[in-house]
Amino acid sequence: MIDTRTLSLAEIEDLSFNALVAAGTSEENARPLARATAATEADGVASHGLAYIPIYAEHVQCGKVDGQAVPQLDMPRPGVITVDAATGFAHSAIDKGFEKLIPLAKQQGVAALSIRNSYNCGVLGYHTYRLAQEGLLGIGFTNAPASIAPSGGHKPVVGTNPFSIAAPGSDGQPAILIDQSASTIAKSEVMKHAREGKPIPVGWALDADGNPTTDPNVGLKGSMAPSGGYKGVGIALLVEMMAAAMTGATLGINASPFSGTVGGPPKTGQFFLAIDPAATAGDLFADRIRDLTAAIHDQNGAHLPGDGRSSKRAIAQTQGVAVNTATLTKIESLLD
């Protein structure tokens, strides 16, 4: 049985912030990442939460990410915002971009945010969630180091490359939150199994010859299994075009790994579209979303993408989150 300790969301944020600063991250860059870490733990996505703090700290110290980076914002066109993350954390670059993106989308009806030269943005749905809270339809893309082979091939050319769509609801929270990668499972889950010495289910990853494997270490040296076969490869290519080509970021085939200390900054990218539903559908958007969600919730046992995270989030806000003590020990050692 795994030994755990319950922490409040405020405690998780403070612990993350202090550890990141101790590792050499500026307070301006540490706060957005710490806030996202707490939100990720609240949503039950532990693989992207506190478990990543020691990795972030290691990457600041080895130079894979610049903890002191200052993102540079520009507006080359009336509806377009670009941010050069300067090889720093994506979270502070996204925050800086959102400060302009949100009011611009409300004013114009639609606006785009392009981010390049950034690092792992964590859970992509955390960012689109925030756009939906502002009453906007949020669409996001982020690319990653290559880990998925093309159909008929065995050499990875694109990353697990998630996309996310968050639709605003009438209560100020997302009515629907889709957040999924192009692979059957997030690579971080395979990495988590490798760290814990656990086998992975068949269908998560492939060996170097393209054969299924239950050994996470073999899978990490091979490729991730695309979700839905060639359709998953298509999604990965779509995201690669949006998050790398459309931003001028580094393609997954040239990006250094998000794990380990080999290579310099990955310089990957993110791309967001924020759309005001009132500009395209008026009051009808809320009606359509309400009818759509009701058609699913009215079915016994059926649920929408995002329902699980939402219920866990509500519990975490009052009861806190049970965190692996081994993870806490690693993080607390950074503060010594």
Q: What is the pLDDT of residue 191?
A: 84
Q: Is the pLDDT of residue 2 over 80?
A: no
**In degrees, to the nearest 5, what angle opens at C-alpha 284 toward C-alphas 280 and 285?**
65
What is the spatial distance between Cα 57 and Cα 65, in angstroms, rounded to a whole number? 9
Say yes or no to pLDDT of 282 above 80: yes
Is 189 catalytic? The answer is yes
Where residue 69 falls among pLDDT bands split at 50, 70, 90?
A: very high
Is 332 one of the catalytic residues? no
Domain assignment of residue 320, yes or no: yes
Which tens digits make up the pLDDT trace of 284-328? 999 999 999 999 999 999 999 999 999 999 999 999 999 999 999
Using the 8-state DSSP alphabet, how is residue 334 labeled?
A: T
* Active-site annotation holder among 47, 181, 188, 227: 47
Say if 103 falls within a structural domain: yes
What single letter denotes the amino acid at residue 321?
V
Q: Exposure pattern of 42-56 as b/e (b: 16+ CB <10 Å)?
A: bbbbbbbbbbbbbbb
Considering 13, 48, 59, 127, which one is annotated as catalytic?
A: 48
Residue 192 pLDDT exceeds 90 = no
Asked whether the beta carbons of 236 and 246 are under 8 A apart, the reply is no
Looking at the structure, do residues 56 and 179 belong to the same domain, yes or no?
Answer: no
What confidence tens digit (pLDDT) does each residue in 207-238 have? Answer: 988 889 999 999 998 899 999 999 999 999 99
- The CATH number linked to 81 is 3.30.1370.60
The pLDDT of 28-39, averaged and rounded, is 98
pLDDT above 80: residue 239 = yes
How much is the pLDDT for 158?
97
Written as six digits, the tokens of 45 are 């996505």
Cα–Cα distance list, 333 to 2, 6, 30, 53, 128 (Å):
20, 18, 17, 11, 33
Q: Which residues pair with 301 in a beta bridge?
A: none
> Could you tell me the pLDDT band of residue 196, with boundaries at 50, 70 and 90?
confident
Instruction: Provide the pLDDT for residue 187.
Output: 83
Q: For the residues 56-81, what does the mean pLDDT come to?
A: 97
Task: Indicate the burial class of 196 (C-beta count within 10 angstroms; 0-12, 13-18, 19 or more).
Answer: exposed
- Is 129 in the same domain as 231? yes
Helix (H) or strand (E) holding 202: none
Q: Are 281 and 129 in contact (CB under 8 A)?
A: no
**Within this chain, do residues 84 and 11 fall inside the same structural domain, yes or no?**
no
The 10s digit of each residue's pLDDT in 251-278 is: 999 999 998 899 999 999 999 999 999 9
Residues 305 and 145: their CA atoms lie apart, in Å, by 26
CATH code of the domain containing 315:
1.10.1530.10
Distance between CA atoms of residues 314 and 209, nearest Å: 44
How many beta carbons lie within 10 A of that of residue 268, not counting itself?
A: 31
Task: State the Cα–Cα distance between residues 266 and 1, nearest whole angstrom.
Answer: 36
Q: Do residues 167 and 43 share a domain?
A: no
Q: Cα(90)–Cα(270) distance, rounded to whole angstroms?
A: 8
Is 189 within a domain? no
pLDDT of residue 118: 98
Residue 252 and residue 177 share a domain: yes
Among 193, 192, 214, 196, residue whose Cα is nearest residue 205: 214
Q: What is the pLDDT of residue 289?
A: 97
Residues 172 and 264 grouped into a single domain: yes
User: Has residue 206 been placed in a domain?
Assistant: no
Instruction: Say if CB 12 and CB 323 are below 8 A apart.
Output: yes
Is 47 considered catalytic here?
Answer: yes
- How many domains in the chain? 2
CA-to-CA separations, 274 to 47, 106, 168, in angstroms, rounded: 27, 9, 11
For residue 195, the model assigns a pLDDT of 85
Same structural domain, 35 and 83: no
Q: What is the pTM of this model?
A: 0.94
Residue by residue, DSSP assigns 48-89 as GTGGGHHHHHHHHHHTSS-TT---EEEEEETTEEEEE-TTS-
Range of the domain at 331: 1-62+306-336
Give 143-188 pLDDT, tens digit per residue: 999 999 999 888 999 999 999 999 999 999 999 999 999 999 888 7
Spot the catalytic one: 118, 189, 223, 240.
189
Same-domain pairing of 4 and 83:
no
User: Going by C-beta distance under 8 Å and a sequence separation of 6 or more, which residues neighbour residue 113?
Assistant: 81, 82, 83, 94, 97, 98, 100, 101, 270, 271, 272, 273, 274
My answer on whether 34 and 154 are in the same domain is: no
Do 55 and 156 belong together in one domain? no
Q: Is residue 212 part of a domain?
A: no
pLDDT at 189: 85
Per-residue pLDDT, 259: 86
106-129 pLDDT per residue, tens: 999 999 999 999 999 999 999 999
